[in-house]
Copies of this chain bind each other. A is one copy, B any other.
Amino acid sequence: MDKKFLELKTRLAEIQDITKTAGLLGWDQRTLMPARGAAVRAEMLASLGKIAHEKFTSDDIGRLLEDLRPYEESLPYESDEASLIRIARKDYQKSMRVPSSLRAEISRLSAQASEIWVQARKKSDYSLFLPYLQRQVELKHQYIECFDETDNAYDILLDDYERGMTTAEVTAMFETLKKDLVPLISDISASQKNIDDNCLHGQFPIETQKNFITEILKRFGFSEDSWRIDPTVHPFASSIATSDIRITTRYYENFLSAALFGSMHECGHGLYENGVSTALERTPLCRGASLGLHESQSRMWENLVGRSRAFWTFFYPRLVAAFPAQLGTTHPETFYRAINKVYPSLIRVEADEATYNLHIILRFELEQEIINGKLALRDLPEAWNARMKSYLGIDVPDDAHGVLQDIHWSSGMMGYFPTYSLGNIISAQIWQRVQAEIPDLQDQFARGEFKTLREWLRERLHRHGRKFTPRETLQKVTGNANIDVGPYTRYLKTKFSDIYNL
Protein backbone atom coordinates (compact mmCIF):
# COMPACT_ATOMS: atom_id res chain seq x y z
CA MET A 1 0.00 0.00 0.00
CA ASP A 2 2.89 2.31 0.82
CA LYS A 3 4.20 1.61 -2.66
CA LYS A 4 0.89 2.65 -4.24
CA PHE A 5 0.83 5.79 -2.12
CA LEU A 6 4.35 6.59 -3.24
CA GLU A 7 3.27 6.11 -6.84
CA LEU A 8 0.33 8.47 -6.37
CA LYS A 9 2.53 11.02 -4.66
CA THR A 10 5.15 10.83 -7.42
CA ARG A 11 2.53 11.31 -10.11
CA LEU A 12 0.93 14.21 -8.28
CA ALA A 13 4.36 15.78 -7.76
CA GLU A 14 5.01 15.71 -11.50
CA ILE A 15 1.62 17.32 -12.16
CA GLN A 16 2.32 19.93 -9.49
CA ASP A 17 5.65 20.68 -11.19
CA ILE A 18 3.76 21.38 -14.41
CA THR A 19 1.21 23.56 -12.62
CA LYS A 20 3.92 25.57 -10.86
CA THR A 21 5.79 25.87 -14.14
CA ALA A 22 2.66 27.31 -15.73
CA GLY A 23 2.55 29.71 -12.78
CA LEU A 24 6.06 30.87 -13.59
CA LEU A 25 5.17 31.29 -17.28
CA GLY A 26 2.24 33.44 -16.16
CA TRP A 27 4.35 35.46 -13.75
CA ASP A 28 6.94 36.05 -16.46
CA GLN A 29 4.25 36.98 -18.98
CA ARG A 30 2.83 39.64 -16.72
CA THR A 31 6.09 41.11 -15.46
CA LEU A 32 8.96 40.67 -17.91
CA MET A 33 8.04 39.04 -21.20
CA PRO A 34 8.68 41.07 -24.36
CA ALA A 35 5.29 41.92 -25.87
CA ARG A 36 5.78 39.88 -29.01
CA GLY A 37 6.39 36.73 -26.98
CA ALA A 38 2.66 36.56 -26.29
CA ALA A 39 1.51 34.30 -29.13
CA VAL A 40 3.92 31.48 -28.40
CA ARG A 41 3.44 31.98 -24.65
CA ALA A 42 -0.27 31.32 -25.07
CA GLU A 43 0.54 28.05 -26.82
CA MET A 44 3.02 27.07 -24.14
CA LEU A 45 0.45 27.67 -21.41
CA ALA A 46 -2.16 25.73 -23.34
CA SER A 47 0.19 22.78 -23.76
CA LEU A 48 1.12 22.73 -20.08
CA GLY A 49 -2.53 22.99 -19.03
CA LYS A 50 -3.42 20.15 -21.36
CA ILE A 51 -0.58 17.91 -20.17
CA ALA A 52 -1.34 18.53 -16.49
CA HIS A 53 -5.01 17.79 -17.09
CA GLU A 54 -4.33 14.64 -19.12
CA LYS A 55 -1.91 13.34 -16.55
CA PHE A 56 -4.27 14.01 -13.68
CA THR A 57 -7.35 12.52 -15.35
CA SER A 58 -5.52 9.34 -16.38
CA ASP A 59 -6.98 5.95 -15.55
CA ASP A 60 -3.90 5.23 -13.44
CA ILE A 61 -4.69 8.08 -11.05
CA GLY A 62 -8.32 6.95 -10.80
CA ARG A 63 -7.24 3.39 -10.05
CA LEU A 64 -4.67 4.49 -7.46
CA LEU A 65 -7.21 6.70 -5.69
CA GLU A 66 -9.63 3.78 -5.51
CA ASP A 67 -6.97 1.29 -4.39
CA LEU A 68 -5.83 3.67 -1.68
CA ARG A 69 -9.22 3.96 0.05
CA PRO A 70 -8.36 1.37 2.76
CA TYR A 71 -4.96 3.00 3.29
CA GLU A 72 -6.60 6.39 3.63
CA GLU A 73 -9.11 5.04 6.15
CA SER A 74 -6.32 3.45 8.19
CA LEU A 75 -4.71 6.85 8.72
CA PRO A 76 -5.75 9.82 10.87
CA TYR A 77 -8.01 12.22 8.95
CA GLU A 78 -5.58 15.06 9.59
CA SER A 79 -2.45 13.23 8.44
CA ASP A 80 -0.72 14.59 5.34
CA GLU A 81 -1.17 11.23 3.64
CA ALA A 82 -4.93 10.84 4.20
CA SER A 83 -5.44 14.48 3.30
CA LEU A 84 -3.51 14.12 0.07
CA ILE A 85 -5.62 11.14 -1.01
CA ARG A 86 -8.86 12.78 0.09
CA ILE A 87 -8.28 16.13 -1.62
CA ALA A 88 -6.77 14.57 -4.74
CA ARG A 89 -9.87 12.39 -5.07
CA LYS A 90 -12.18 15.42 -4.87
CA ASP A 91 -10.07 17.24 -7.43
CA TYR A 92 -10.05 14.15 -9.61
CA GLN A 93 -13.82 13.80 -9.55
CA LYS A 94 -14.16 17.42 -10.57
CA SER A 95 -11.47 17.28 -13.25
CA MET A 96 -12.94 14.17 -14.85
CA ARG A 97 -15.93 16.25 -15.78
CA VAL A 98 -13.99 18.60 -18.05
CA PRO A 99 -12.52 17.44 -21.37
CA SER A 100 -8.84 18.22 -22.00
CA SER A 101 -9.68 20.07 -25.18
CA LEU A 102 -11.89 22.54 -23.29
CA ARG A 103 -9.23 23.06 -20.61
CA ALA A 104 -6.66 23.74 -23.32
CA GLU A 105 -8.93 26.19 -25.09
CA ILE A 106 -9.68 28.09 -21.88
CA SER A 107 -6.00 28.24 -21.09
CA ARG A 108 -5.02 29.40 -24.59
CA LEU A 109 -7.79 31.97 -24.74
CA SER A 110 -6.89 33.33 -21.30
CA ALA A 111 -3.30 33.96 -22.32
CA GLN A 112 -4.37 35.70 -25.53
CA ALA A 113 -7.17 37.68 -23.90
CA SER A 114 -4.87 38.89 -21.13
CA GLU A 115 -2.59 40.45 -23.72
CA ILE A 116 -5.51 42.05 -25.50
CA TRP A 117 -6.87 43.29 -22.20
CA VAL A 118 -3.61 45.13 -21.47
CA GLN A 119 -3.92 46.92 -24.83
CA ALA A 120 -7.67 47.56 -24.49
CA ARG A 121 -7.14 49.00 -21.02
CA LYS A 122 -4.31 51.21 -22.26
CA LYS A 123 -6.50 52.54 -25.07
CA SER A 124 -9.65 52.41 -22.93
CA ASP A 125 -11.28 50.54 -25.81
CA TYR A 126 -13.84 47.95 -24.68
CA SER A 127 -14.62 46.98 -28.29
CA LEU A 128 -11.09 45.54 -28.62
CA PHE A 129 -11.71 43.31 -25.63
CA LEU A 130 -15.37 42.40 -26.32
CA PRO A 131 -14.85 39.46 -28.74
CA TYR A 132 -12.41 37.84 -26.30
CA LEU A 133 -14.79 38.31 -23.40
CA GLN A 134 -17.59 36.86 -25.50
CA ARG A 135 -15.52 33.78 -26.24
CA GLN A 136 -14.50 33.55 -22.59
CA VAL A 137 -18.17 33.51 -21.51
CA GLU A 138 -19.01 30.92 -24.17
CA LEU A 139 -16.29 28.69 -22.76
CA LYS A 140 -17.59 29.29 -19.22
CA HIS A 141 -20.98 28.02 -20.37
CA GLN A 142 -19.37 24.95 -21.89
CA TYR A 143 -17.54 24.48 -18.62
CA ILE A 144 -20.72 24.77 -16.56
CA GLU A 145 -22.42 22.20 -18.79
CA CYS A 146 -19.79 19.65 -17.78
CA PHE A 147 -21.32 19.49 -14.29
CA ASP A 148 -24.64 18.43 -12.76
CA GLU A 149 -27.22 21.16 -12.70
CA THR A 150 -27.17 23.38 -9.61
CA ASP A 151 -29.60 25.94 -8.17
CA ASN A 152 -27.60 28.63 -9.85
CA ALA A 153 -25.23 28.06 -12.78
CA TYR A 154 -22.88 30.52 -11.06
CA ASP A 155 -22.37 27.99 -8.22
CA ILE A 156 -20.12 25.94 -10.52
CA LEU A 157 -17.82 28.89 -11.12
CA LEU A 158 -17.78 29.96 -7.47
CA ASP A 159 -16.84 26.46 -6.34
CA ASP A 160 -13.55 26.68 -8.26
CA TYR A 161 -12.39 29.49 -5.99
CA GLU A 162 -14.29 28.79 -2.78
CA ARG A 163 -14.90 25.06 -2.45
CA GLY A 164 -18.37 24.26 -1.13
CA MET A 165 -19.67 27.83 -1.16
CA THR A 166 -22.98 28.56 -2.95
CA THR A 167 -24.27 31.67 -4.66
CA ALA A 168 -27.20 31.71 -2.22
CA GLU A 169 -24.87 31.73 0.80
CA VAL A 170 -22.79 34.55 -0.62
CA THR A 171 -25.90 36.52 -1.49
CA ALA A 172 -27.13 36.16 2.09
CA MET A 173 -23.79 37.28 3.53
CA PHE A 174 -23.60 40.20 1.14
CA GLU A 175 -27.12 41.25 2.11
CA THR A 176 -26.13 41.31 5.79
CA LEU A 177 -23.03 43.22 4.84
CA LYS A 178 -24.97 45.77 2.83
CA LYS A 179 -27.46 46.20 5.66
CA ASP A 180 -24.68 47.38 7.97
CA LEU A 181 -22.47 48.99 5.41
CA VAL A 182 -24.91 51.28 3.62
CA PRO A 183 -25.94 53.13 6.81
CA LEU A 184 -22.31 53.37 7.89
CA ILE A 185 -21.23 54.92 4.60
CA SER A 186 -24.24 57.17 4.73
CA ASP A 187 -23.34 58.26 8.31
CA ILE A 188 -19.81 58.95 7.16
CA SER A 189 -21.09 61.11 4.31
CA ALA A 190 -23.50 62.87 6.67
CA SER A 191 -20.71 63.54 9.19
CA GLN A 192 -19.56 66.42 7.00
CA LYS A 193 -16.07 65.66 8.23
CA ASN A 194 -13.79 66.41 5.34
CA ILE A 195 -10.60 64.37 5.55
CA ASP A 196 -7.61 65.92 3.86
CA ASP A 197 -5.58 63.32 1.99
CA ASN A 198 -3.37 65.72 0.09
CA CYS A 199 -0.38 64.27 1.87
CA LEU A 200 -0.73 61.07 -0.21
CA HIS A 201 -0.57 63.00 -3.47
CA GLY A 202 2.67 64.65 -4.52
CA GLN A 203 6.03 63.59 -5.86
CA PHE A 204 7.23 60.31 -4.38
CA PRO A 205 10.26 59.05 -6.34
CA ILE A 206 9.73 55.38 -7.15
CA GLU A 207 13.16 54.25 -5.94
CA THR A 208 12.44 55.75 -2.51
CA GLN A 209 9.02 54.10 -2.43
CA LYS A 210 10.68 50.78 -3.29
CA ASN A 211 13.19 51.07 -0.49
CA PHE A 212 10.60 52.04 2.10
CA ILE A 213 8.25 49.25 1.03
CA THR A 214 11.06 46.71 1.14
CA GLU A 215 11.75 47.76 4.75
CA ILE A 216 8.11 47.04 5.65
CA LEU A 217 7.97 43.76 3.78
CA LYS A 218 11.16 42.53 5.41
CA ARG A 219 9.62 43.11 8.82
CA PHE A 220 6.53 41.21 7.66
CA GLY A 221 8.63 38.21 6.58
CA PHE A 222 9.90 38.94 3.05
CA SER A 223 13.50 37.75 2.58
CA GLU A 224 15.60 38.03 -0.54
CA ASP A 225 16.63 34.39 -0.53
CA SER A 226 13.00 33.28 -1.00
CA TRP A 227 11.06 36.22 -2.45
CA ARG A 228 10.99 38.70 -5.32
CA ILE A 229 9.04 41.90 -5.80
CA ASP A 230 8.64 43.31 -9.31
CA PRO A 231 6.58 46.03 -10.98
CA THR A 232 3.56 45.10 -13.11
CA VAL A 233 0.33 46.54 -14.52
CA HIS A 234 -2.02 44.57 -12.30
CA PRO A 235 -0.50 43.47 -8.98
CA PHE A 236 -0.60 39.79 -8.04
CA ALA A 237 1.22 37.20 -5.97
CA SER A 238 2.58 33.94 -7.30
CA SER A 239 4.25 31.03 -5.58
CA ILE A 240 6.66 28.87 -7.57
CA ALA A 241 7.73 27.03 -4.41
CA THR A 242 7.25 27.74 -0.70
CA SER A 243 10.68 29.35 -0.86
CA ASP A 244 10.21 31.04 -4.25
CA ILE A 245 7.48 33.62 -3.66
CA ARG A 246 6.92 36.40 -6.18
CA ILE A 247 4.85 39.45 -5.54
CA THR A 248 4.27 42.35 -7.88
CA THR A 249 3.15 45.90 -7.38
CA ARG A 250 2.27 49.03 -9.30
CA TYR A 251 4.07 52.29 -8.54
CA TYR A 252 2.71 55.78 -9.13
CA GLU A 253 5.15 58.59 -8.65
CA ASN A 254 2.34 60.99 -7.71
CA PHE A 255 0.35 58.77 -5.37
CA LEU A 256 1.76 56.92 -2.41
CA SER A 257 -1.00 54.53 -1.41
CA ALA A 258 -1.14 52.27 -4.48
CA ALA A 259 2.26 50.62 -4.18
CA LEU A 260 2.38 50.93 -0.38
CA PHE A 261 -0.82 49.11 0.47
CA GLY A 262 -0.77 47.01 -2.70
CA SER A 263 2.59 45.57 -1.68
CA MET A 264 1.42 44.77 1.85
CA HIS A 265 -1.63 43.12 0.31
CA GLU A 266 0.39 40.88 -2.01
CA CYS A 267 2.85 40.18 0.81
CA GLY A 268 -0.09 38.79 2.80
CA HIS A 269 -0.78 36.35 -0.02
CA GLY A 270 2.91 35.55 -0.19
CA LEU A 271 3.18 34.86 3.54
CA TYR A 272 0.36 32.33 3.28
CA GLU A 273 2.14 30.42 0.49
CA ASN A 274 5.51 30.83 2.19
CA GLY A 275 4.06 29.40 5.41
CA VAL A 276 2.69 26.17 3.98
CA SER A 277 4.44 23.17 5.54
CA THR A 278 7.40 22.12 3.40
CA ALA A 279 6.12 18.55 3.84
CA LEU A 280 3.36 19.55 1.40
CA GLU A 281 5.79 20.88 -1.25
CA ARG A 282 5.19 19.44 -4.72
CA THR A 283 1.69 18.22 -3.75
CA PRO A 284 -1.67 19.73 -4.70
CA LEU A 285 -2.05 20.66 -1.01
CA CYS A 286 0.74 23.18 -1.30
CA ARG A 287 -1.36 26.33 -1.49
CA GLY A 288 -4.06 28.22 0.36
CA ALA A 289 -7.28 26.45 1.36
CA SER A 290 -9.48 28.79 -0.68
CA LEU A 291 -9.37 32.21 -2.23
CA GLY A 292 -11.48 33.62 0.59
CA LEU A 293 -8.96 32.45 3.13
CA HIS A 294 -6.15 33.67 0.90
CA GLU A 295 -7.73 37.07 0.65
CA SER A 296 -8.24 37.14 4.40
CA GLN A 297 -4.45 37.12 4.68
CA SER A 298 -3.80 39.80 2.09
CA ARG A 299 -6.49 42.06 3.49
CA MET A 300 -5.30 41.45 7.04
CA TRP A 301 -1.75 42.61 6.32
CA GLU A 302 -2.98 45.45 4.13
CA ASN A 303 -5.74 46.79 6.39
CA LEU A 304 -5.81 45.37 9.90
CA VAL A 305 -2.05 45.71 10.13
CA GLY A 306 -1.06 48.26 7.49
CA ARG A 307 -3.83 50.78 8.05
CA SER A 308 -3.65 50.67 11.86
CA ARG A 309 -2.43 53.44 14.18
CA ALA A 310 0.02 51.08 15.87
CA PHE A 311 1.68 50.20 12.58
CA TRP A 312 2.23 53.86 11.73
CA THR A 313 3.46 54.64 15.25
CA PHE A 314 6.53 52.73 14.16
CA PHE A 315 6.63 53.46 10.45
CA TYR A 316 5.44 57.05 10.13
CA PRO A 317 8.70 58.60 11.41
CA ARG A 318 10.53 56.39 8.91
CA LEU A 319 8.21 57.42 6.10
CA VAL A 320 8.81 61.08 6.95
CA ALA A 321 12.56 60.40 6.91
CA ALA A 322 12.18 58.89 3.43
CA PHE A 323 10.05 61.78 2.14
CA PRO A 324 10.93 64.77 4.34
CA ALA A 325 9.91 67.42 1.81
CA GLN A 326 6.59 65.77 1.09
CA LEU A 327 5.54 64.74 4.62
CA GLY A 328 7.71 66.75 7.03
CA THR A 329 4.84 69.02 8.02
CA THR A 330 2.09 66.37 8.08
CA HIS A 331 0.90 65.32 11.54
CA PRO A 332 0.81 61.53 12.09
CA GLU A 333 -2.91 61.65 12.83
CA THR A 334 -3.54 63.55 9.57
CA PHE A 335 -1.67 60.83 7.72
CA TYR A 336 -3.57 58.07 9.55
CA ARG A 337 -6.89 59.62 8.62
CA ALA A 338 -5.78 60.18 5.03
CA ILE A 339 -4.96 56.52 4.48
CA ASN A 340 -8.31 55.60 5.97
CA LYS A 341 -10.39 58.19 4.16
CA VAL A 342 -13.73 56.84 3.00
CA TYR A 343 -14.80 58.14 -0.39
CA PRO A 344 -16.42 56.57 -3.40
CA SER A 345 -13.81 55.94 -6.09
CA LEU A 346 -13.46 54.31 -9.47
CA ILE A 347 -10.77 51.69 -8.99
CA ARG A 348 -11.42 48.66 -6.82
CA VAL A 349 -7.84 47.98 -5.82
CA GLU A 350 -7.50 51.55 -4.56
CA ALA A 351 -10.84 51.68 -2.75
CA ASP A 352 -11.09 52.31 0.99
CA GLU A 353 -12.10 49.57 3.38
CA ALA A 354 -15.75 50.62 3.66
CA THR A 355 -16.66 51.15 0.00
CA TYR A 356 -14.46 48.33 -1.29
CA ASN A 357 -17.20 45.77 -0.77
CA LEU A 358 -19.62 47.69 -2.97
CA HIS A 359 -17.16 47.25 -5.85
CA ILE A 360 -17.31 43.53 -5.20
CA ILE A 361 -21.07 43.31 -4.87
CA LEU A 362 -21.35 45.15 -8.22
CA ARG A 363 -19.09 42.59 -9.94
CA PHE A 364 -20.79 39.65 -8.21
CA GLU A 365 -24.17 40.82 -9.51
CA LEU A 366 -22.94 41.56 -13.04
CA GLU A 367 -21.19 38.21 -13.30
CA GLN A 368 -24.36 36.38 -12.33
CA GLU A 369 -26.37 38.35 -14.88
CA ILE A 370 -23.83 37.59 -17.60
CA ILE A 371 -23.72 33.90 -16.79
CA ASN A 372 -27.47 33.63 -16.45
CA GLY A 373 -28.01 35.41 -19.78
CA LYS A 374 -29.67 38.48 -18.29
CA LEU A 375 -27.05 40.91 -19.53
CA ALA A 376 -25.60 41.06 -23.05
CA LEU A 377 -21.86 41.69 -23.09
CA ARG A 378 -22.13 44.62 -25.46
CA ASP A 379 -24.26 46.33 -22.79
CA LEU A 380 -21.80 45.57 -20.01
CA PRO A 381 -20.00 48.94 -19.89
CA GLU A 382 -23.33 50.73 -19.66
CA ALA A 383 -24.55 48.38 -16.92
CA TRP A 384 -21.26 48.81 -15.10
CA ASN A 385 -21.45 52.59 -15.25
CA ALA A 386 -25.10 52.68 -14.20
CA ARG A 387 -24.41 50.54 -11.18
CA MET A 388 -21.35 52.58 -10.21
CA LYS A 389 -23.63 55.61 -10.23
CA SER A 390 -26.25 53.86 -8.18
CA TYR A 391 -23.95 52.19 -5.58
CA LEU A 392 -21.18 54.72 -5.28
CA GLY A 393 -22.75 57.80 -6.78
CA ILE A 394 -19.96 58.38 -9.25
CA ASP A 395 -19.64 58.76 -13.00
CA VAL A 396 -17.21 56.52 -14.86
CA PRO A 397 -15.19 58.69 -17.27
CA ASP A 398 -13.95 55.85 -19.48
CA ASP A 399 -13.78 52.06 -19.63
CA ALA A 400 -10.16 51.94 -18.48
CA HIS A 401 -11.45 53.30 -15.17
CA GLY A 402 -14.55 51.14 -15.37
CA VAL A 403 -15.23 47.77 -16.84
CA LEU A 404 -11.66 47.25 -18.12
CA GLN A 405 -9.90 47.87 -14.80
CA ASP A 406 -9.54 44.25 -13.64
CA ILE A 407 -7.62 41.42 -15.24
CA HIS A 408 -9.98 38.69 -13.99
CA TRP A 409 -12.41 38.37 -16.88
CA SER A 410 -9.64 38.35 -19.46
CA SER A 411 -8.09 35.43 -17.59
CA GLY A 412 -11.37 33.57 -17.43
CA MET A 413 -11.66 34.09 -13.67
CA MET A 414 -15.40 34.52 -13.24
CA GLY A 415 -16.66 33.58 -9.80
CA TYR A 416 -13.48 34.93 -8.27
CA PHE A 417 -14.56 38.42 -7.19
CA PRO A 418 -16.87 37.48 -4.29
CA THR A 419 -13.90 35.85 -2.56
CA TYR A 420 -12.43 39.33 -2.05
CA SER A 421 -15.27 40.32 0.24
CA LEU A 422 -15.32 36.89 1.86
CA GLY A 423 -11.67 37.60 2.57
CA ASN A 424 -12.51 40.90 4.23
CA ILE A 425 -15.12 39.22 6.38
CA ILE A 426 -12.87 36.31 7.34
CA SER A 427 -9.94 38.62 8.07
CA ALA A 428 -11.89 40.33 10.85
CA GLN A 429 -13.14 37.01 12.16
CA ILE A 430 -9.55 35.74 12.45
CA TRP A 431 -8.42 39.09 13.83
CA GLN A 432 -10.88 38.80 16.71
CA ARG A 433 -9.17 35.56 17.68
CA VAL A 434 -5.66 36.91 17.13
CA GLN A 435 -6.35 39.85 19.44
CA ALA A 436 -7.75 37.60 22.14
CA GLU A 437 -4.66 35.38 22.03
CA ILE A 438 -1.98 38.05 21.60
CA PRO A 439 -3.04 40.83 23.96
CA ASP A 440 0.01 43.06 23.32
CA LEU A 441 -0.25 42.79 19.54
CA GLN A 442 -0.65 46.56 19.00
CA ASP A 443 2.35 47.25 21.23
CA GLN A 444 4.39 44.87 19.12
CA PHE A 445 3.32 46.67 15.93
CA ALA A 446 4.28 49.98 17.50
CA ARG A 447 7.79 48.53 17.94
CA GLY A 448 7.87 47.30 14.32
CA GLU A 449 7.51 43.67 15.38
CA PHE A 450 5.27 41.36 13.36
CA LYS A 451 6.82 38.01 14.04
CA THR A 452 4.34 36.90 16.71
CA LEU A 453 1.45 37.57 14.36
CA ARG A 454 3.14 35.89 11.43
CA GLU A 455 4.04 32.80 13.45
CA TRP A 456 0.53 32.62 14.94
CA LEU A 457 -0.93 32.67 11.45
CA ARG A 458 1.60 30.15 10.19
CA GLU A 459 0.85 27.75 13.04
CA ARG A 460 -2.92 28.13 12.94
CA LEU A 461 -3.56 28.62 9.23
CA HIS A 462 -0.68 28.75 6.77
CA ARG A 463 1.05 25.45 7.46
CA HIS A 464 -2.11 23.43 6.71
CA GLY A 465 -2.11 24.57 3.10
CA ARG A 466 -5.04 23.00 1.32
CA LYS A 467 -5.32 19.91 3.53
CA PHE A 468 -8.75 20.83 4.85
CA THR A 469 -11.93 22.32 3.43
CA PRO A 470 -12.38 26.07 3.85
CA ARG A 471 -14.88 25.39 6.66
CA GLU A 472 -12.55 22.95 8.45
CA THR A 473 -9.71 25.41 8.05
CA LEU A 474 -11.75 28.28 9.44
CA GLN A 475 -12.72 26.09 12.38
CA LYS A 476 -9.05 25.47 13.11
CA VAL A 477 -8.15 29.14 13.03
CA THR A 478 -11.15 30.67 14.78
CA GLY A 479 -12.96 27.82 16.48
CA ASN A 480 -16.00 28.52 14.27
CA ALA A 481 -16.59 26.77 10.93
CA ASN A 482 -19.10 29.37 9.76
CA ILE A 483 -18.22 32.65 8.17
CA ASP A 484 -19.57 35.37 10.45
CA VAL A 485 -20.09 38.87 9.07
CA GLY A 486 -20.39 40.35 12.59
CA PRO A 487 -16.73 40.94 13.50
CA TYR A 488 -16.10 42.65 10.18
CA THR A 489 -18.95 45.14 10.39
CA ARG A 490 -18.15 45.79 14.07
CA TYR A 491 -14.52 46.44 13.11
CA LEU A 492 -15.55 48.89 10.39
CA LYS A 493 -18.03 50.66 12.67
CA THR A 494 -15.52 51.04 15.51
CA LYS A 495 -12.76 52.22 13.25
CA PHE A 496 -14.74 54.73 11.24
CA SER A 497 -16.81 55.98 14.19
CA ASP A 498 -13.50 57.01 15.70
CA ILE A 499 -12.11 58.57 12.53
CA TYR A 500 -15.35 60.34 11.59
CA ASN A 501 -16.55 61.06 15.16
CA LEU A 502 -19.83 59.26 14.48
Contact = CB atoms under 8 A, between A and B. Distances in A.
A321 interface: no
Interface stretch (A44-52, A152-160, A403-411, A477-485): A44-52
8 contacts: A14-B47, A17-B43, A21-B44, A21-B48, A33-B244, A35-B225, A36-B244, A37-B243
Contacts of A281: 40
A34 B282 contact: no
Nearest to A245: B34
A13 B42 CA distance: 13
Contacts of A34: 224-228, 243-245
Interface in A138-175: none
A20 interface: yes
A36 B282 contact: no
A382 interface: no
A408 B25 CA distance: 25
A58 to B, nearest CB: 13
A78 interface: no
A6 B38 CA distance: 23
A210 interface: no
Number of copies: 2
Nearest to A244: B37
Most B C-beta atoms less than 10 A away, residue of A25, A37, A227: A37
A259 interface: no
A28 interface: yes
A69 to B, nearest CB: 27
A39 interface: yes
Contacts of A21: 21, 25, 44, 48
Q: Can you list the 8 inter-chain pairs with the closest CB atoms, starting with the nearest?
A: A37-B244, A40-B241, A36-B243, A17-B47, A17-B44, A36-B226, A35-B225, A14-B47
Given A18-B48, A20-B40, 19 more contacts: A17-B43, A17-B47, A18-B47, A20-B44, A21-B21, A21-B44, A21-B48, A24-B25, A28-B28, A34-B226, A35-B225, A35-B226, A36-B225, A36-B241, A37-B226, A37-B244, A39-B243, A40-B241, A43-B282
Nearest to A286: B40
Indicate the member of A35, A40, A46, A240 with the most B CB atoms within 10 Å: A40
Contact of A48 (B17, B32, B39, B245): B17
Interface in A194-242: 224-228, 240-242
A52 to B, nearest CB: 10
B20 A24 contact: no
Interface string A277-303: 000011000000000000000000000
Contacts of A348: none
A51 B240 contact: no
A454 interface: no
A18 B18 CA distance: 10
A41 interface: yes
Interface in A439-454: none
A36 B282 CA distance: 15
A136 to B, nearest CB: 22
Contacts of A13: 43, 47
Contacts of A14: 47, 50-51
Contacts of A244: 33-34, 36-37, 40-41
Contacts of A44: 17, 20-21
A244 B13 CA distance: 29
**Which among A21, A33, A51, A282 has the highest number of chain B CB atoms within 10 Å?**
A21
A17 B52 CA distance: 13
Nearest to A241: B40
Nearest to A243: B36
A35 B226 CA distance: 6
Contacts of A41: 240-241, 244
A347 to B, nearest CB: 28
A248 to B, nearest CB: 13
Interface string A7-35: 00000011001101100110010001111
Nearest to A51: B51
Given A14-B50, A18-B51, A47-B14, A40 B240 contact: yes
Nearest to A31: B32
A228 B31 CA distance: 12
A316 to B, nearest CB: 30
